[in-house]
Structures are given as structure tokens and as C-alpha cells.
Amino acid sequence: MGTFIQLVVDGLATGSIYAALALAIVLVNQATGLINFAQGGMAVLSAYIAYAFTRLGLPLILAILIAVVVSFLIGAVIERFLIRRFEGGDPDTAVVVTIGLLALVTGICAVRWGYNNLAFPSLFPLTSVEILGAVVSVRSLATTVTIVAIMVALQVLFLRTKLGLALRAVADNPSSAALSGLPVGRLLMVGWGFAASLGAIAGVLVAPQLTLTPGMLDTALVYALAAVILGGLSSPIGCVVAASAIGVLENLAAVYVPLVGHDLKIAVPFVLIFVILVIRPQGLFGRKVVVRV
Amino acid sequence: MRTISAVLANRSVRASLIAVVAIALIVAPLILPAFTNQTLVRIGVYAVAILGLNIVMGYTGQVNLGQIFFVGLGAYVAAYGVNHDWNILLVFVAACVIPGIVGLFVALAAARLGGLAIAMVTIALPIVGVPLAKRLDEFTGGSQGTSARFTDAPDWSGLYNDQWQFYIVLLVTAAAFLLARNLVRGRYGRSFGVVRENEAVAASMGISPYRTKVLAFTVASIFGGASGFLYLAAVQYTSPETLSFGHSISLVAAMVIGGAGSITGALIGGAYYVFVPQLTNAIDPNLTAISQGAILLAVLFLLPQGLVSLPRVIRRLARRRTAPSTPSGKPPQNSPVHHPTTEAAVREGLETQRGKIDHED
Amino acid sequence: MTLLELAGVTAYYGPVQVLHGVGLSVPEGGSVGILGANGAGKTTTLRAISGTVRTGGRISFDGHDVRGLRPDQVAVRGVAHVPEGRGTLGQLSVRENLLVGAYLRKDRAAISGDIDYCLDLFPQLQDRIGSRAASLSGGEQQMLAVARAFMAKPKLLLLDEASLGLAPSTSKAVYEAIRRLRVESGIAMVVVEQNANLAFSLVDSATVLETGRNVLTGSAAELKGMDEIRRAYLGG
């Protein structure tokens, strides 16, 4: 039982990282209608930026905050000068653009910091606490709590502020929003900025565990995409639930299903997707098409 | 320029040109140095994989980020067959059919989701494939990989190994290109194109978008498997590294850079896939990813149809320089994608929910 | 004083030219109709004004050249466009749609009063204030689209086929409310309408377009009496 609780809490922690990345993907998709396959790569760059600032002697928390702000700007600039050109066009071309962006961002990390694993300091103590008789790591708990807090903050931003209203309006129908005087271009930049910042937080929270490499989040991206497929692109809450479920399930499967083990737990969400698609061709939540074409 | 294409249009000229190219390809390995032969062989290997990718992505418009998985699978199947002394033809057939079956199953599920979900699912293939290959070590040799020598030149041929391999790859590659060309020019090719342009229109024409996508994806997987067979023929060794995520991205990049929706583009893509990393590796191995991203983005911005469209673009630019400029109130140049403006979009007031966002900051 | 002046306006969808030199003049507080058959360029003329199509020629609004501006820049100058097909924000509630309409305003205190005014103008929206716009009926969506445009407190309202797809009684009610809006607020209007009876109930003057050119311009009273207008648009 103790192991079980430990596994669930750890699973929720990794699940919350996937959830943050999945939310960033949904945010971009809502704003610009495309899937950003570079979301994970951009988050790695953010983590490297935080790393660089800690190397300059800045306290970790300050380095992270700077990285989050810089990531916002990077996201906005990418939208303006790279993605804008392909918005509203063929979605397949836009996907390839984000693939190119992924290669570019990964390449920038590789050129600047190399392919060797770098140790990233943890924001949270590496101690454990006892909950219900189970030993649970503080880092897992704190990671989950941090991400949940950020999601609540985002929810408030989107539902309670004028900026949030404007972002939702642009996501809903950009050409109609423009007729009410909303600066669509600038709002799309803001949307990409928020997504990049969210990715940055996911990146710095997971970096101590995975250690920094240019491809650190390739796998996490795949998990996040699985969460997006299962949860639905139009449902941020669905994505968070799916991401958490994936995090917990894969952790349990790795330990309790010998066939899966730690090396193949990445297959868990995809086996799930395939099984669901075979049983329910219309998708998980009854929508015929989860992705806007 | 125009005179050249006019000459090319002539049937007998074309036939003799093809004959000249064929003879050159047959004679070339006998006189070229071994390293050049090996490079050409590798271009052939990847050109077949990119050709398959082109069928599903370029022609049918379904983004597939997992093509390398089928290349790796083909290579592993071939290695297994060779090491178990199967007949070489059986090895080849198995290396094509097994990836084809796996591709069929993946497509049956993924194509149900529609849209970009195929991209989102296929990106998982290499990510799942690498640990899977390591796990199934009795078939794959685990992390060590597995080697299989079956393409040493037989004594009766009097050829060197590189020459013998060249001919094997040439044979399969030529057959693959011929098959692909006939496929995309025929009935199926037309349904691929209709599905890419507009699935609703396809459905109204009695073409099932679902079945078409599954077919294209399966064909792509078979080509991937054939490419894997050739990979083993050329390299005689395969490991989980063969099907890594980075390579999958490179295949997509090479396909787009060569030219999506073009048979020749696949050949150019194969050359790009082999040459550019060779070049950047020589300068600094860390440069490979960044140059790949930069080149891909540059091509998407400047030559959205890929390198294969370069002559056409140059010709157009040259013509524009000589011809008088377009009449006043110049119509805006449209998006980089190959979708022609449809009648419907021209109709007044058809402002879609998510129309083109025409604004610059 | 002229509020809006179009001269020799051309417009393109891709390579296809749709307008071939359209002129239009709207005085401050005035209401001008654009009539014409399907494909004559009525909607495109409105889109040329609001900056949602590429144009040539001259478009001046409130003394400034507005041709070539982005839609949001045109909106900032005081133009509100109610597009064909309504263009409400489907996933947002009715209240949120109205708040988006008021996005450019700084007088926060007055906004809730104007929402009340809209609900008085279109009482049907009162019960639906918290519902998603996509769940409204066609008529309610049209009312919401007009109300949202009004929320910007524009100088000029561009109204495109407000009766499209509505039952006759509903479109009559919508036009009734718009007429009241015009009287009470003094907002100038450009009205595109297939149904000439409805159009003439709202406009002082009108121009008739044919394949992207003006063929007739005159006061409402003049045009109403003309045979060709009667034949083409009044079904007589």
C-alpha cells in the first residue's frame, strides 16, 4: 500500500508536468489553430536559460523567473516572425514549420550547451514526508501543487480579466474579434508567450530529475500529445485529467505489469489510445473529430 | 529553357534520355571510387524511405512523423531473416510486408482521429520504438544492435562489395520509384490528391477519406520497410539508434526540402539527407540539428514546394523581369501552400470562421 | 459634414477582382443602403471599409484615410462591422460577447449601463445573458451581433444582411430595434440588405451595385419609385 501511494503521488507529479505541456499545446492551438511540436523543445531552451542564469550566480528562483519572462518574449517573437506567415494556411505546412522550429531550438541548445547531461538544481528539497503511512517525496508533492496553482492562476486570468476575455475572443474567432478592435496579432503573440512561459515552468520543474539535455522533453512532448488526444483539444480540463491519469497509470504499470516495466511505460498511453480508438472510433469524448482540420 | 522542355516532351528523345541515364547508372559503380558508391547507395536507401513518406504526406496530406520506425522495423526483419538463413527474396518480402501490416494497424486507428492527430500519434512511433527494440533483444540484439552480412559480392560476379551493393540498391530503388510514379499518376494518386485538398469533396465523389489515408499510410510503411532492407544491405548492421526520433524528424525535413508531392523531390531529399549531415558533421557535430532546422525553415519560407521547384521559380522570376509588370492594384500573392483558390472561396462574403488572418503588426 | 467617403474603390479576393471602382458617401448621422443582386459586391464594399479585404482606391473616414488599415485599426477609429453570418463569438457567453464589443472603451462605469440598454433594445437576450452565443437561435445571434457592435459606441455601423436566414417576423423585429437604435443614438449606418422593403425602412439614400460598380444612386424616395429597382428587388 505504501508503494502504491508513493507511485500515485510520483505519477501525479510527472502527470502535472505533462499537463503543463499539454495546456501549452492547447493554448497555442486555441489561439492559432495549429499543434506546436516544438513546445517541448522551447521549454528545454527555457530550462537552459534558467541554468545559464544560475551559473551567473543568481539565486535559483530568480533565474527561473527571468527564464519564464524571457520565454514569454521568445514565444511572442516566434509567433510574430515565424508562425504568422503560416497561420490560416495549410495546417500540414504549419506542422512542418513547428518541426523545423523544434530542430532549430534543439540545435541552439546543442550548439550553446552541448549534448552532455547537465545537472539542474531542484527548487524543492529532496526530502520525504510520511502521508498515510507512505513515504512521499516532497519534490513530487511540491511540483504537483505548483502546477495546480499555476493552472488556477491561468483560469482566473482567462475567466476574470479583460486580457483573458480578449485572448478567448481571438481564439474563438480571430476575424470577428478584430471587428471589435481587438489587436489580433498582438494577442496571438501574447497567447504564444503564455504557452512558452508555461512550458518554461514545466521545463525547470522536471529538469532536476531528468538532467538537462537538448532532447530532455522529447518524450514528455509525446506524453503531452497523448494527453491532448485523450482529453480533447478544446478541453483544457480534459487534458489535465488525461495527463494526470497517464502519469499515474504509466507509473503503476511500470511496477505492477512486468511486461511493461520502466523502459516501455511510454507505450502505455498509446496502447490506451489505440484500444479506445478501436472500441470508440468517434474518440474519447464523443466528438467525431478531435482536431480542427 | 522552354526549348529544352519542348525537346523533352518528344517521346523518342525522352526514351533515349532514360536509356542514357540507365546506362550511366549501370556503368557508374564500375568506375567510381568505393566511397562515392557507398554515398550513392545511402542516397538510394533514404530516397526510398522519403518516397514512401512523400506518398502519405506530400500526396495525401497526412503528416507522418514516424516513418523512420518502419525503416528500422524493415531493417530488423531483414536482419532476423538473414541470420536465420531465409531465402533472400523471402527476406525482402518479409521486410516489406511486416512493416506494411504494422503500418496498416497504426493507420486503421490513427486515421480515425483525422486532421493533425495522425501526426500526434505517429510522433510516438520512434519514441516507443527505441525502448521496444532494446527490450526485444532476442530478435533485435538489444542496445548492441544486430549485424547481418548478406550483400558481399558473389565470386562469379567479379565485383567489389560496394559495386554489388550498388546494384542491389539500384534495382530496388528503381523499382520503388517506378511503382510510386505509377501509383501517384493513377486512380489512387488522384484520390490521394482529392483527400489532401478537401476531404468533404472526396467523400462526395465516393472516395472514402479514411480508406485512402489508410492505404497511403500502409504504402508508405511498405516503402519504409523496403528502405530498411536496403539500409541493412548497405550498412550490414542495425541498432535502436537507426529508428531514433531525431532521424524521423530528419526524414520529414528531407522530404519537405526535396519537395513534397514530387517523385524527383524524394530523390533530392535522399541526397539532402545523406550530404548535409555529412557536411555539418565535418565542421562540428553539434551543428547538425541547428542547420537542419534553419534549412528547413528557410525552404518553407522561400521555396515552399521544395528544392525540386527551384528551376520553375527561377524561370518565373526571369520571366517576370522581362515581362511588363502586372496591372495596377496588384492582387496579393497568396499562401505558400499548393491549394489553389477554390471557386467557393472567391464567392463574395465567404468569410470562414477561421479565415486567413490578414494582419501584420 | 461627410463621415465616410469612398471613391474608385477596388477590391480583390486572391487574383479575382470583385470591385471595379465603387463610390459611396455617408453624412454624419446618415444612413445609406447598398442594394444589388448576389455577387454584386455589396458585402465586399463593407469589407473594404472595415479593412477585411485588400483594396485600392480612396476610403476616408472622419477626415482620415483608412484604406489599407487593419480591421482593428479601423474599429479604433469608430467603425463597427456586423458581418454577414453574424460572426458572434460562439464559445463566449452573451455578456462576454457584449464586453468584447466594448473592448476599446475606457469608460468602464458606463459599460454596464450600455449592456442594460442593449437588453432593453433586444429583450430576448435578457434570459440568455449567461448562455454561450453558439446556443442562441439565429435571430438572437443577429441581435447579439448588432448589440455587440453598438457596445463599441461607434460613429458608423456597417450592417450586412441582418435579415439573412431569419423568419420575416424576426427580421422585422430586428430592423425595428435597429431603427430605434439609430434614432436614439444617432449612429451613422451603411446597410446591405437583400430585402429592399427592410432596407428602405432604415436608409435615407441608397446606391445600387452591379458586378462591382455603382449603377444608380439616389434618395430612398427616388429609388423606391423606380421601375428597375421595383423589378429587381421588390419582386414587382
Query: How far B259 CA lies from chain A's nearest CA (Å)?
Result: 12
Using a CB-CB cut-off of 8 Å, the residues of chain C touching B334 are 14
Fold classification of C2-233 is: Rossmann fold (3.40.50)
CB A79 within 8 Å of CB A189: yes
Q: What percent of chain C has pLDDT over 70?
A: 96
Interface of A with B in 100-129 (CB under 8 A): 100-108, 110-111, 114-115
**If residue B237 lies in a helix (H) or strand (E), which one and from where to where?**
strand B237-238
Residue A267: predicted pLDDT: 87
Query: Residue C235's pLDDT band (boundaries 50, 70, 90)?
Result: very low
Spatial distance between the Cα atoms of A270 and A262, rounded to a whole number of angstroms: 15
Spatial distance between the Cα atoms of B214 and B173, rounded to a whole number of angstroms: 23
CB A56 within 8 Å of CB A261: no
Plot region of C165 (φ>0 → left; ψ -120 to 50 → alpha; else → beta): left
Choose the mutation target among C73, C88, C99, C103 for the interface with A, i.e. most A CBs under 10 Å. Answer: C103
Residues A281, A284, A286, A287, Cα dihedral to 10°: -80
Residue of chain A minimizing CA distance to C148: A180
Answer whether C15 sits within 8 Å of B341, measured CB to CB. yes
Answer whether B109 sits within 8 Å of A101, measured CB to CB. no
> Predicted ipTM?
0.91
Question: pLDDT tens for residues B127-138?
Answer: 999 999 999 988
- Which other chains touch chain C, taking contact as 3+ CB pairs less than 8 Å apart? A, B
Question: pLDDT tens for residues C124-179?
Answer: 999 999 999 999 999 999 999 999 999 999 999 999 999 988 999 999 999 999 99
The backbone torsions φ and ψ at residue A286, rounded to the nearest 5 degrees and listed phi first, read: 80, 0
Give the residue extent of every domain in chain C: 2-233
The backbone torsions φ and ψ at residue A40, rounded to the nearest 5 degrees and listed phi first, read: -70, -45
Q: Which among C12, C44, C71 has the least Cβ separation from residue B331? A: C12
Residue A287: predicted pLDDT: 44
Question: pLDDT tens for residues B214-254?
Answer: 999 999 999 999 999 999 999 999 999 999 998 999 999 99
Cell of A287: 466528438
Residue B343: predicted pLDDT: 34
Spatial distance between the Cα atoms of A102 and C90, rounded to a whole number of angstroms: 33
Q: Is B334's pLDDT higher than 80?
A: no
Answer whether C18 sits within 8 Å of B349, measured CB to CB. no
Q: Which among B328, B334, B359 has the least Cβ separation from residue C14? A: B334
Using a CB-CB cut-off of 8 Å, the residues of chain A touching C152 are 180-181
User: Considering the entire predicted model, what is its pTM?
Assistant: 0.86
Cell of B115: 486532421
Using a CB-CB cut-off of 8 Å, the residues of chain B touching C54 are 331-332, 358
Query: Regarding predicted confidence, which is higher, B190 or C230?
Result: B190
Interchain CB contact of A164 with B (< 8 Å): no
Spatial distance between the Cα atoms of C106 and B30, rounded to a whole number of angstroms: 80
Q: Taking the CB of residue B27, how many other CB atoms lie within 10 A of it? A: 10
The backbone torsions φ and ψ at residue B302, rounded to the nearest 5 degrees and listed phi first, read: -95, -35
Interface of C with B in 8-47 (CB under 8 A): 10, 12-18, 38-39, 41-44, 47
Q: Is B336's pLDDT higher than 50?
A: no
CB B249 within 8 Å of CB A97: no
Residue of chain C minimizing CA distance to A173: C89
**For the sheet containing C188-192, what is the strand order?**
C79-82, C156-160, C188-192, C31-36, C205-210, C213-219
Query: Residue B170's pLDDT band (boundaries 50, 70, 90)?
Result: very high
Kindly give the residue spans of alpha helices, DSSP state H, lying in chain C.
42-50, 71-76, 94-101, 108-121, 138-151, 168-185, 196-200, 220-225, 227-233
Residue of chain C minimizing CA distance to A170: C89
Interchain CB contact of B253 with A (< 8 Å): yes
Using a CB-CB cut-off of 8 Å, the residues of chain C touching A26 are none
Question: Coil, helix or strand for A132?
Answer: coil
Residue of chain B minimizing CA distance to C192: B349
Q: Is B347's pLDDT higher than 60?
A: no
Query: Residue B41's pLDDT band (boundaries 50, 70, 90)?
Result: very high
Q: What distance lies between CA B110 and its chain's CA centroid?
A: 20
Residue B26: predicted pLDDT: 87
Low-confidence ranges of chain A (pLDDT < 70): 1, 280-293
CB A40 within 8 Å of CB A228: no
Q: What is the mean pLDDT of residues B298-321?
A: 88
Query: How far A173 CA lies from chain B's nearest CA (Å)?
Result: 6
Q: Of C199, A31, C220, A278, which Cα lies nearest the Cα of B111?
A: A278
Q: Taking the CB of residue B32, how many other CB atoms lie within 10 A of it? A: 16
Cell of B261: 508531392
Spatial distance between the Cα atoms of A120 and A60, rounded to a whole number of angstroms: 10
Kindly give the residue spans of alpha helices, DSSP state H, lying in A118-235.
138-160, 162-172, 174-179, 184-210, 218-231
Spatial distance between the Cα atoms of B211 and A276, rounded to a whole number of angstroms: 19
Give the residue extent of every domain in chain A: 2-216
Spatial distance between the Cα atoms of B205 and A44, rounded to a whole number of angstroms: 46
A·B CB contacts under 8 A: 194
Question: Coil, helix or strand for B304?
Answer: coil
